[in-house]
Amino acid sequence: MNLTHYAETLSLLGDESRLRLCALLHERELCVTDLVRLTGIAQSRVSTHLGRLRDAGLVRDRRDGLHAFYGLSMESMAPSAKALLTEALQSDDPVLNADRVRLRELDAERKGLLPESFAGQMERHYSPGRTWQSLATGLAGLLDLGDVLDVGSGDGAAASLFAARCKSLTCIDTSARMIEAAKHRFRKDPHVHALVADASDLPFRPATFDVAILFHTLTYAEQPAQVFDETFRVLRSGGRVVVLSLDEHPHEEITAPYGEVRAGFSPRALRGMLTRAGFSVSECLVACRESKKPHFSVVLAVAEKPQKQGSKSSSGAVANKVSKSTKGRSDRVHST
């Protein structure tokens, strides 16, 4: 081997990106797409580097259908190149180690396993089928509800997640178009009813329902306190109300075009209205914050209509246990 060949070998392996590609291909055969994902190097650059390594006899390739797979040719490599690569492969370089970790994660994904880097951060990552909707559907399977009132139901999209767990479900909204859509959605469910009604003047007799839900309803209400008064009236003794609402915010220019007339409610304000209506509040807190600006927060409140002496809500012992287990929690923030 002459001086020119040594210089060419040093030049070829004197590039960090090519060393990273060689280290990964020493582990096993990979295609260009894999190498791009593992290293973050642009596809055009990966292809160019592989071409040079192949021409120099350091890398071999084979085709499998539409894909070309590359591997390291250690057995046919010149001694000088092999010595340099062997030393690099045995090093504890953090960049090479990070590439190897990503390779293990790629292998784990293809075996149907979750990458180790997901540990402690699973809520931040997507994997097939693991959506918030599927999670909500699974959690709904734990419920055993009685007669439920969905105040401000819209077209019934949220209610459809737990409709099967209700003895009866009544959806109300001020929008006739939304109610028609809800009727169509639940056309095969005889225990579900949908009607146009005002949350501040509910057309039901006292003590009609076991559970009332107000999911993002209050910010549209002209008289939110009256909504809670009416909700309290139509609930049975021991009945629960569950509320989701935007937290108080200074971004009315964003929410107003959606028809909202209130700029959210703080946990303190929400707890105050519920208490004045007669409810016993077991939980009232900021449950989540949106990751995108302006980072809207959502408040969750759970409250109960106090039971009369000797009475028992038909919503069952499970509902009472859930309510009691959460009673007394202080306002706090859960990050998502």
Q: Where in the chain is the domain with CATH 3.40.50.150?
A: 198-326
What pLDDT score does 183 carry? 97
261: closest CA among 150, 152, 148? 152
DSSP H helices in 158-206: 176-185
What pLDDT score does 116 carry? 54
Q: Where in the chain is the domain with CATH 1.10.10.10?
A: 3-112
For 10, 152, 250, 269, the CA distances from 253, given in Å and listed in that order, are 62, 22, 8, 22
Report phi then psi at 110, rounded to 5: -75, -15
Considering just the CA atoms, what is the radius of gyration of the chain in Å? 31
Per DSSP, 250 falls in state S
What pLDDT score does 198 carry? 95
The reply to whether the predicted model has a pTM over 0.75 is no
39: exposed, middle or buried (Cβ count in 10 Å: 0-12, 13-18, 19+): buried
Q: Classify domain 198-326 by CATH number.
A: 3.40.50.150
Q: Classify domain 3-112 by CATH number.
A: 1.10.10.10
Q: Decide if 191 contacts 166 (C-beta within 8 A).
A: yes
What pLDDT score does 49 carry? 92
214: exposed, middle or buried (Cβ count in 10 Å: 0-12, 13-18, 19+): buried
What pLDDT score does 2 carry? 64
Name residue 298's beta-bridge partners.
246, 288
Would you give per-residue pLDDT tens digits along the chain (336 residues)? Answer: 567 767 777 788 888 999 899 889 988 899 999 999 999 999 999 999 999 999 888 889 998 887 889 998 888 777 878 888 888 888 888 998 888 888 888 877 666 555 555 555 444 544 556 666 777 778 777 888 999 999 999 999 999 999 999 999 999 999 999 999 999 999 999 999 999 999 999 999 999 999 999 999 999 999 999 999 999 999 999 999 999 999 999 999 998 888 889 999 999 999 999 999 999 999 999 998 988 889 999 999 999 999 876 555 444 443 444 344 334 433 434 333
| CA 277 from centre of chain | 33
What pLDDT score does 129 carry? 64
